[in-house]
Amino acid sequence: MRSLIIAALVSTMLASPALAGEAKRSTFGKTGDGHAVAAVTLTNGRGVSTRIIALGAAIQSLTMPDKAGKTADVQVGYDTIDGYLTKPEFFGATVGRVANRIAKGRFKLDGKTYTTPINNGPNSLHGGTKGFDKVLWDVVDVKSGPVASVTLRYVSPDGDMGYPGTLTTTATYSLDEKNQLTIEYRATTDKPTVVNISNHAYWNLAGVGSPRGAMGHVVTIPADRYTPTDATSIPLGQHKSVAGTVFDFRTPHAIGDRVRDARDVQIAYGRGYDHNWVIGNAVTPTQHLMARVVEPVSGRGFELWSNQPGLQFYSGNFFDGTIVGKGGQIYRMGDAIVMEPQLFPDSPNQPNFPSVKLLPGQTYRNTMTYRLFVEKR
């Protein structure tokens, strides 16, 4: 009897949900000036784990099983801190203060002109030459449990990269037992400023290093409009119907089917997809579906939900074989994709776009959830 009781207790302990939902601290190398880069790995009881690093408040890895139960890392990036320091490429990073592009690095706010560094052709991209992706964030809270989480904070001083106001930003990553990875950004300011923060995770659901790359991923985007751009990827200020174009993902399409169809000049401008889809006209109180992505061979997929009105979909067009990433893999065009819920590109200069203005007393909030799944059929 006693042995049966012990066996039952052991069985119960092995099945206990208390063994899941772990948040484990570690260190992911050091910066060039010797500061340790904190890391926190979130793990659930269903075979999903993700490592978040303090440099850029970034997703360094995310492992999930396929339909055969085989796990793989689906985040393109680097194995060590060195690559993130020398050629970061926004891998998995928090991007801001203003994600996406600002035309010629100039904008007006309350009648005053501000400039931010040019780092993408003639424009400013993702906050300038030292945006949120290139700074060391503080880890301020770590929680284990059914929802494992880590919260990081960064205080951007007044005038940082040319932006007005001291901006205090938190990034909270949480992983639950439903295989939902949620990222919530919050920011407050002490004077009027502009804010548009997002996450720049590079996904290859076939697994990093897979020769299939990401062009076989099947994408659905519930948007009937997108914002066409000029040759430098700055929106023209108008919405265009996706109907009859290569931008129509209202029904599922493999990315590679149309990504190189340069009969549409927009594809030629971006060397593929690098555009904003109009999901709505304003930030909403609750989340709505932004996209669904599935890799048919492995069955791995995700639904992306957010409260934001825009989705920037980038098909990895500028990987040129000069980046050596995880496992010694050379990253080539189309090896990964990015989907960034956000306000629209160049919004500070586009009066018809949703405003990115943030005032003292207000709280900026971008919440996004990746609902990870495995399609077994």
Q: What is the domain-level CATH number for residue 214?
A: 2.70.98.10
Percentage above 90 pLDDT, the chain? 94
> Span 192-214, mean pLDDT?
97
- Residue 7: inside a domain: no
For residue 372, how far is the Cα from the chain centroid? Answer: 14
pLDDT tens by residue, 326-375: 999 999 999 999 999 999 999 999 999 999 999 999 999 999 999 999 99
pLDDT at 11 over 70: no
Res. 147 pLDDT band, cuts 50 70 90: very high
Q: Is the pLDDT of residue 19 over 80?
A: no
Would residue 14 count as lying in a domain? no
Q: Is residue 333 part of a domain?
A: yes
User: Residue 243 pLDDT more than 70?
Assistant: yes
Average pLDDT over residues 79-101: 97
Q: Let me know if residue 283 belongs to a domain.
A: yes
Q: How far apart are CA 123 and CA 252, in angstroms?
A: 33
Domain-located, residue 172? yes
* Confidence tier at 5 by pLDDT (50, 70, 90): very low
Expressed in percent and rounded to 5, the helix, strand and coil fractions of the chain are 10, 40, 45
DSSP 354: P
Identify the pLDDT of residue 13: 32
Query: Considering the domain boundaries, does residue 181 fall inside one?
Result: yes
- Please answer whether residues 58 and 93 qualify as being in contact, where contact means their C-beta atoms are separated by less than 8 angstroms: yes
Which pLDDT score is estimated for 55? 98
Over residues 199-209, the mean pLDDT reads 97
Q: What is the pLDDT of residues 157-173, one digit of tens each?
A: 999 999 999 999 999 99
Six-digit token string for 158: 């007044």
Query: Residue 311: CB partners within 8 Å, gap ≥ 6?
Result: 221, 223, 276, 277, 279, 290, 291, 304, 339, 340, 341, 342
Domains contained in the chain, number: 1
Whether residue 65 contacts residue 197, with contact meaning beta carbons closer than 8 Å, is answered with: no
- Residue partners of 332: CB distance under 8 A and separation at least 6: 213, 319, 320, 321
Burial of residue 253, with CB atoms counted within 10 A of its CB: 0-12 exposed, 13-18 middle, 19 or more buried: middle
Active-site residues, by number, are 200, 340
Q: Is the pLDDT of residue 264 over 80?
A: yes
Whether residue 262 contacts residue 313, with contact meaning beta carbons closer than 8 Å, is answered with no
Is pLDDT of 85 > 90?
yes
9 located within any domain: no
- What's the pLDDT at 292? 98
pLDDT value of residue 10: 32
* 144 alpha carbon, distance to own chain's centre: 23
The pLDDT of 195-220, averaged and rounded, is 97
What b/e string do you get for 48-64 counting C-beta neighbours within 10 Å, with b at 16 or more?
bbbbbbbbbbbbbbbbb
pTM of the model: 0.94
Q: How confident is the model at residue 20 (pLDDT cuts 50, 70, 90)?
A: confident
Strands (E), 78-192: 94-95, 101-102, 106-109, 112-115, 124-125, 138-143, 147-156, 167-176, 180-189
314 pLDDT above the threshold of 60: yes
Enclosing domain of residue 273? 20-374
The average pLDDT across 298-305 equals 98
Residue 94 CA to residue 316 CA, distance in Å, equals: 17
5 falls within a domain: no
Structure confidence at residue 2 (pLDDT) = 42
Instruction: Tell me: pLDDT of 192 over 70.
Output: yes
Checking if the pLDDT of 4 tops 80, the result is no
